[in-house]
């Protein structure tokens, strides 16, 4: 069996198991340790780890398919898997010896937050780091935690070769991080996306992603993708999986559900048939746009070509579109579920809550559409976030 087939088969098997534990996961407000370990042993966290370190370094389209399947079963598990796979790409930006020392267990989980809400002050041999980060998904089960920082020396911003303030992610051991009980939310409850913080923590230079070799060429095609792109891709994949789960649930419910005063089941009513057809068209067309543009960039990366602004634009549009269309699908299925959908026993209400939390992520916000739209108009927007 190929690595691809094995990953997809494991995802399908575990998705069914996780679906049966959805209530437990939600009540825990984090992924249970045994589930986190199962996902690690399945290789989901290694999808972004360089092969030279023992990782899978798998193509991004395969990673997204795995996440879709997981989200169809349990969205919070898929969310943590996506964060783990994305965060582990940071190992490609560390010196070889440091990366090997960190990645000492093939099932280990690395999580983190890219937003540079921390501060790292230069000292001998490394940096003194202080900061607080939000959306620390899966961090309770992680061995190492990343935090984005603004870098300073003698209190002044450090600059890159273009004169811009330097920002990097620092890799911190779990035992040195304080985790705060802030994750009391409406959806993706089991992702455990709480806040965490450190105060005056020493981080050696070799644990700062991209710091010691800022000008190094990407070590493989996977690492030619911008980090923000990985975040957007993961959100899109999870949302498409949630949308498919909502369709599954509505179809099962509609076969027997009858509204008060009607002899027809929901499935037999024209309004339901039209809505379901539109939902299928929306989801399938969004997936096609998503994977088509992703494959376009992957071909460029494997050929050693630099990404064009137009390619990065199209991929970010495709990922944001995948999220928006998926939200529309879930909303439509939730509406067709009627009163049955509001009960906690219905998966439709969980799909509704989960996807409306997922869509709030800044990587798939309306700002992305604004930037993309301006570019289509021939204007000159700031495309650095693409």
* DSSP-assigned letters across all residues of 70-139: HHHH-HHHHHHHHHHHHHGGGGGGS-HHHHHHH--STT--EEEEEEEEEEEEEETTEEEEEEEEEEETTG
> Do residue 192 and residue 231 come from a single domain?
no
Computed on alpha carbons and rounded to an integer, the radius of gyration of the chain in Å comes to 21
State mean pLDDT over 260-284.
94
- Specify the DSSP class assigned to residue 365: S
- CATH assignment of the domain containing 86: 1.10.540.10
Q: Looking at the structure, do residues 245 and 370 belong to the same domain, yes or no?
A: yes
pLDDT in tens, 16-61: 999 999 999 999 999 999 999 999 999 999 999 999 999 999 999 9
DSSP code, position 186: S
pLDDT digits (tens, 9 = 90+) for 127-141: 999 999 999 999 999
Rounded Cα distance between 184 and 132, Å, is: 17
- Would the pLDDT of 239 be above 90? yes
Torsion over CA of 311, 316, 317 and 321, rounded to 10 degrees? 140
The answer, yes or no, to whether residue 217 has pLDDT greater than 70, is no
Q: Are 45 and 157 contained in the same domain? A: no
User: Mean pLDDT across the stretch 80-89?
Assistant: 97
Contact predicate 196/145, CB 8 Å: yes
List the structure tokens of 313: 């634009």
C-beta separation of 177 from 196 below 8 A: yes
Using the 3D structure, point to which of 93, 125, 147 is the last residue of a domain. 93
pLDDT at residue 227, rounded to an integer: 83
Please say which residue of 148, 181, 207 terminates a domain.
207
Can you give the CATH number for the domain in which 121 is found? 2.40.110.10
Computed over every residue of the chain, the mean pLDDT equals 95
154 with 269, same domain: the answer is no
| Contacts (Cβ under 8 Å, ≥6 apart) of 46 | 54, 55, 56, 85, 88, 106
Q: Cα(41)–Cα(319) distance, rounded to whole angstroms?
A: 28
Any domain includes 98: no
- Helix or strand holding residue 150 (H, E): strand 144-153
Whether 287 and 242 map to the same domain: the answer is yes
Give residue 261's pLDDT band: very low, low, confident or very high (50, 70, 90): confident
- The answer on 232 and 170 residing in a single domain is no
- Strands 144-153 and 110-123, sheet pairing: parallel
pLDDT of residue 148 exceeding 80, the answer is yes
Same domain as 256, residue 184: no
Give the pLDDT score at 207. 98
How many domains does one find in the chain?
A: 3
Query: In this predicted structure, what is the pLDDT of residue 258?
Result: 86
Residue 384: the pLDDT is: 82
Residues 117 and 88 in one domain: no
For residues 11 and 37, membership in a common domain is answered with yes
CB of 239 closer than 8 Å to CB of 69: no
CATH, residue 275: 1.20.140.10
pTM above 0.85, yes or no: yes
Look at strands 144-153 and 178-180 and give their pairing. unpaired
141/187 Cα distance (integer angstroms): 20
Q: Is residue 385 part of a domain?
A: no
User: Are residues 22 and 77 located together in one domain of the fold?
Assistant: yes
Residue numbers of the domain that contains 88: 3-93
Whether residues 351 and 245 fall in one domain: yes
Same domain? 147 vs 201: yes
Alpha carbons 132 and 118: distance in angstroms, whole number: 6
Do residues 117 and 169 make contact, with C-beta atoms less than 8 angstroms apart? Answer: no
């Amino acid at each position: 069996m190929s690595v691809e087939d094995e990953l997809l088969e494991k995802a399908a098997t575990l998705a069914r198991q996780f679906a049966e534990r959805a209530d437990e996961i939600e009540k825990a407000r984090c992924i249970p340790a045994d589930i986190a370990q199962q996902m690690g042993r399945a290789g989901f966290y290694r999808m972004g780890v360089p092969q030279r370190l023992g990782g899978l370094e798998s193509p991004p389209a395969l990673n997204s398919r795995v996440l879709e399947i997981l989200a169809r079963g349990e969205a919070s598990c898929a969310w943590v898997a996506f964060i783990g796979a994305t965060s582990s790409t940071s190992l490609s930006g560390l010196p070889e010896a440091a990366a090997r020392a960190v990645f000492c267990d093939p099932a280990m989980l690395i999580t983190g937050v890219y937003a540079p809400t921390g501060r790292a002050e230069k000292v001998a041999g490394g940096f003194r780091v202080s900061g607080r980060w939000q959306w620390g998904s899966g961090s309770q089960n992680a061995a190492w935690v990343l935090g984005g920082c603004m870098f300073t020396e003698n209190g002044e911003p450090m600059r890159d070769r273009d004169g811009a303030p330097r920002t990097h992610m620092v890799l911190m051991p779990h035992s040195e991080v304080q985790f705060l009980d802030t994750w009391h939310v409406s959806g993706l409850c089991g992702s455990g996306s709480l806040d965490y913080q450190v105060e005056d923590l020493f981080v050696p230079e070799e644990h700062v992603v991209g710091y010691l070799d800022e000008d190094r060429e990407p070590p493989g095609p996977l690492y030619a993708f911008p980090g923000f792109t990985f975040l957007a891709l993961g959100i899109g994949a999870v949302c498409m999986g949630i949308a498919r789960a909502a369709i599954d649930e509505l179809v099962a419910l509609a076969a027997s559900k009858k509204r008060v005063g009607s002899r027809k089941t929901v499935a037999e009513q024209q309004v339901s048939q039209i809505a379901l057809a539109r939902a299928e068209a929306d989801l399938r067309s969004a997936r096609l746009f998503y994977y088509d543009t992703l494959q376009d960039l992957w071909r460029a990366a494997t050929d050693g070509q630099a990404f064009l602004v137009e390619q990065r634009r199209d991929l970010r549009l495709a990922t944001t579109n995948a999220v928006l269309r998926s939200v529309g699908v879930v909303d439509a299925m939730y509406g067709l579920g009627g009163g049955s959908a509001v009960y906690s026993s219905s998966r439709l209400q969980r799909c509704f809550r989960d996807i409306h939390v997922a869509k709030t992520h800044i990587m798939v916000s309306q700002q992305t559409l604004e930037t993309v739209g301006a570019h289509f108009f021939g204007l000159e927007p700031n495309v650095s976030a693409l």
